[in-house]
């Protein structure tokens, strides 16, 4: 593994069996895979903190011994456990059975950690963390301690929330780059919410997103959002991969418009939007039943929001097979043209260094990949 070269690009891979840091140069065609860390653990997310170059955070989930937040301060050469939040409902537990029965269940402990989001540059010590069961936490001391964000954790509708197949995960956390008090979250089987006051209060933001699996297909909440990406050149615009299709919003998630219909089945999990390409978003469409790329080859769909059109980025002959991609499985970098990075559930790591014109795989068979993110030469 190369040491802190200012031109080094790092792909951070969270897999079913550990964490990998993959290093390359700005050409983004030659890569060196570092040794595995957190071996044997499910690592749902690994992310760099652009405010503190060299700092990485990992959401490490151990089936036997529970979750841990781990941090590296040297680009992944070594890792150390830091504070892991606990369920905020512990003191309210009721071990006795009451006549209400299931309405008052024993509170669940914190299950898997799903997403770690560094705060804005103006708050250099802030981190956000999303976890199962549908919990949001904030640290104001870089992970030495965590506070539950009660505005969403104790939302009045919470009793009606239920988990999706992947659990009750809070997997999307977005901070408006212009206004750090404005936050957005995405919760599986619940939908998206926006806060204008640093998380004190939240409003659901799911208008226009269908929920075909519910009796009322157009509810206020209950949509199963899979992932949302913000358009960093226009932070009022968001791209959403939902269980019910692919959507765009141009008004801070107040309204959503389905864009995926021309693709037919517009199911999927992952979406990303690069800084260098305003109005572009990348989706990996999956078969809604099999949850792998349906046509028998690896494919990426590019949405052009200005032309309101779709483009397929790969030849069907390039990578034949059925590939799965999870919600954190796609990332883009800070270059122009942007690099696109996609990890699959069968352990291939696809890289395009030129906004989708050419593609290659990193020459290493990873375990099934949960998450991909990129730390660019500037650190984030």
For 318, counting Cβ atoms within 10 Å of its Cβ (0-12 exposed, 13-18 middle, 19+ buried), the class is middle
Burial 21-58, CB ≥16 within 10 A → b, else e:
bbbbeeebeebebbebbbeebbbbbbbbbebbeebbbb
**Applying CB under 8 A, does 144 fall inside the site for other proteins?**
no
Instruction: Using the rule CB under 8 A, give the single segment among 4-12, 87-95, 255-263, 335-343 that binds other proteins.
Output: 87-95
Instruction: Using the rule CB under 8 A, give the single segment among 64-72, 182-190, 309-317, 353-361 that binds other proteins.
Output: 64-72
**Applying CB under 8 A, does 110 fall inside the site for other proteins?**
yes
Cα Dmax for the chain: 65
Residue 152 host element (H or E): helix 150-153
What is residue 13's three-state secondary structure? strand
Figure out which of the listed residues 34, 54, 109, 377 binds other proteins, where binding follows CB under 8 A: 109
151 secondary structure, DSSP code? H
For 233, counting Cβ atoms within 10 Å of its Cβ (0-12 exposed, 13-18 middle, 19+ buried), the class is middle
Query: With contacts defined by CB under 8 A, how many residues of the chain interact with other proteins?
Result: 18
Figure out which of the listed residues 63, 100, 101, 289 binds other proteins, where binding follows CB under 8 A: 63
- The least CB distance from residue 94 to other proteins, in Å, is 8
- The least CB distance from residue 369 to other proteins, in Å, is 16
CA distances from residue 44 to 11, 175, 222 in whole angstroms, order as listed: 15, 20, 23
**Applying CB under 8 A, does 66 fall inside the site for other proteins?**
yes
**Applying CB under 8 A, does 141 fall inside the site for other proteins?**
no
**Applying CB under 8 A, does 96 fall inside the site for other proteins?**
yes
Cα–Cα distance measured from residue 77 to residue 71, given in angstroms and rounded to the nearest whole number: 11
Question: Which residue, 337 or 368, has its beta carbon nearer to other proteins?
Answer: 368
Tell me the residue length of the chain. 380
- The least CB distance from residue 151 to other proteins, in Å, is 22
Question: Which residue, 82 or 351, has its beta carbon nearer to other proteins?
Answer: 82
- The least CB distance from residue 186 to other proteins, in Å, is 25
**Applying CB under 8 A, does 97 fall inside the site for other proteins?**
yes
Question: Which residue, 65 or 317, has its beta carbon nearer to other proteins?
Answer: 65
Figure out which of the listed residues 61, 70, 87, 249 binds other proteins, where binding follows CB under 8 A: 87
Figure out which of the listed residues 7, 29, 106, 220 binds other proteins, where binding follows CB under 8 A: 106
C-alpha angle 54/370/153, rounded to 5°? 85
**Applying CB under 8 A, does 93 fall inside the site for other proteins?**
yes
**Applying CB under 8 A, does 64 fall inside the site for other proteins?**
yes
Cα–Cα distance measured from residue 30 to residue 33, given in angstroms and rounded to the nearest whole number: 10
**Applying CB under 8 A, does 84 fall inside the site for other proteins?**
yes
- Where along the sequence are the contacts to other proteins (CB under 8 A)? 63-66, 81, 84, 86-87, 90, 93, 95-97, 106-110
């Amino acid at each position: 593994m190369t040491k802190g070269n200012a031109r080094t690009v790092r792909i951070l891979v969270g897999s079913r069996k550990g964490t990998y840091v993959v290093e390359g140069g700005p050409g983004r065609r030659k890569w060196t895979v570092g040794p595995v860390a957190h071996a044997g653990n499910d690592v749902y997310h690994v992310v760099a903190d652009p405010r503190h170059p060299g700092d990485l955070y990992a959401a490490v989930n151990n089936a036997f011994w529970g979750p841990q937040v781990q941090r590296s301060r040297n680009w992944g050469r070594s890792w150390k456990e830091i504070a892991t939040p606990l369920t905020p409902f512990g003191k309210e537990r009721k071990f006795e059975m009451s006549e209400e029965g299931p309405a008052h269940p024993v509170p669940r402990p914190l299950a898997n950690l799903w997403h770690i989001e560094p705060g804005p540059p103006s708050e250099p010590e802030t981190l956000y963390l999303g976890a199962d069961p549908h919990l949001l936490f904030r640290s104001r001391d870089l992970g030495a301690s965590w506070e539950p964000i009660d505005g969403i954790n104790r939302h009045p509708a919470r009793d009606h929330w239920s988990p999706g197949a992947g659990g009750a995960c809070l997997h999307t956390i977005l901070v408006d780059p212009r206004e750090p008090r404005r936050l957005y979250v995405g919760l599986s089987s619940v939908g998206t919410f926006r806060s204008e006051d640093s998380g004190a209060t939240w409003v659901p933001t799911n208008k226009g997103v269908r929920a075909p699996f519910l009796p009322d297909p157009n509810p206020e909440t209950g949509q199963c959002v899979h992932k949302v990406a913000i358009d960093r050149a226009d932070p009022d615009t968001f791209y959403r991969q939902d269980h019910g299709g692919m959507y765009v919003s141009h008004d801070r998630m107040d309204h959503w418009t389905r864009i995926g219909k021309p693709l037919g089945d517009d199911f999927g999990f992952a979406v990303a939007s690069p800084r260098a390409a305003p109005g572009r978003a990348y989706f990996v469409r999956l078969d809604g039943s099999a949850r792998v790329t349906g046509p028998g080859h690896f494919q990426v769909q590019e949405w052009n929001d200005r032309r309101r059109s779709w483009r397929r980025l790969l030849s069907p002959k390039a990578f034949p097979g059925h590939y799965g991609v999870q919600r954190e499985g796609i990332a883009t970098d800070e270059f122009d043209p942007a690099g696109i990075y996609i990890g699959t559930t069968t352990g291939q790591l696809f890289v395009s260094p030129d906004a989708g014109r050419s593609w290659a795989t990193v020459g290493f068979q990873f375990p099934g990949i949960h998450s991909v993110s990129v730390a660019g030469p500037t650190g984030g």
